Structure 1
Amino acid sequence: MVDDALFQLGMDSARLNTAQTEEEVTTRPYVPECNDHFIERDGVVCAGEHLIIDLFDAERLDDLPFIERTLIECVRAAGATLLHIHLHPFEPNGGVSGVAVLAESHISIHSWPERAYAALDVFMCGKAQPRRCVDVLKAAFRPGRIEVKELLRGQGA
């Protein structure tokens, strides 16, 4: 079953080798001309911006087609590239878990409609603008409260 899920995500050829050992990691300076899609935010060079978004007192968290359309709108607003989207509904509470896999990374959602709560991760590199997803999510789910935390991933890589 895990292999099927990995295959659906295009990860069937990636296998964990428990015999692998940790290798020494070397760092290199940031080169703006390099096409590795690293970004610079507020003077910090990093792999990308990762937003942790909590929606409280939110609506339509059990409406799978609506959630899919909203994630696609987030991708469009951020200027990202959608590769694949997979959402899974849960019964009996109607919660949804899923991910939009992007060329620039991903957007994931886990919802608890019985608590009017959703947890989202929005991680993007390159020229994509993940902060634009916040307005899309606010308009779609109408949360009474929203919390957004930012992580700059891959600093020093």
Structure 2
Amino acid sequence: MSEAGAHRLHLPAGSHLLADLSGIEASRLGDCDELEALLRSAAAAAGARVLHSHFHGFGDGYGVTGVVLLAESHISIHTWPEDGFAAVDIFMCGASRPQTALELIQAALAPQHCQLNTVRRAAGN
């Protein structure tokens, strides 16, 4: 089978949610361990399988950047406690439910506003 033919057999499709969450209490946005546990829980609730995660805090009063790598893709978060803002990126394929992950994250962070952009991702025709 040609390389092009093999590519047609693999048609990953998924949803990529880009959520800008604002109006969040600063205390919810600066703890690496809490945010990592939240994103791991969100992945599990969505039916995704966690492969690895890495989070980095920028110091007391500053934000966190983190990513949870999934067999189905990833969830990432970048926070700005001083602005009450978090950017959340959820890309999942297969039978996983990215909207469920976002709902869990929103319930925990309690933003006043959410601006959501959803992109359908697919390869092939």
1:148 alignment counterpart: 116
Which of 32, 35, 41 is the matching residue for 1:73?
Answer: 41
Asked if structure 1 preserves the Cα contact closer than 8 Å seen for 2:11 and 2:122, the reply is no
Query: What is the TM-score when the length of structure 2 is the normalising length?
Result: 0.86
* Offset at residue 139 of structure 1 (A): 1.1
Letter of the 1:68 partner, please give it.
Answer: E
Structure 2: gaps (5+ residues) = none
* Offset at residue 69 of structure 1 (A): 1.2
Cα distance in 2 between the residues matched to 1:122 and 1:48: 10
* Offset at residue 136 of structure 1 (A): 0.5
Q: 1:77 to 1:27 in 2, by over 3 A?
A: same
Larger of the two Rg values belongs to structure? 1
Letter of the 1:69 partner, please give it.
Answer: A
2:64 alignment counterpart: 96
Give the number of equivalent residue pairs: 121
Asked if structure 2 preserves the Cα contact closer than 8 Å seen for 1:93 and 1:112, the reply is no
Cα distance in 2 between the residues matched to 1:72 and 1:115: 24
Query: What is the TM-score when the length of structure 1 is the normalising length?
Result: 0.69
2:23 alignment counterpart: 57
* Offset at residue 156 of structure 1 (A): 3.5
Cα distance in 2 between the residues matched to 1:109 and 1:118: 7
More relative contact order, 1 or 2 (CA 8 Å, 6+ apart): 2
Structure number having the greater strand percentage: 2
1:15 alignment counterpart: none
Cα distance in 1 between the residues matched to 2:115 and 2:102: 10
Calculate percent identity across the aligned residue pairs. 42
Query: Superposition RMSD on alpha carbons, in Å?
Result: 2.3
Which of 72, 75, 79 is the matching residue for 1:107?
Answer: 75
Cα distance in 2 between the residues matched to 1:107 and 1:50: 10
Cα distance in 2 between the residues matched to 1:152 and 1:114: 32
Asked if structure 2 preserves the Cα contact closer than 8 Å seen for 1:37 and 1:125, the reply is no
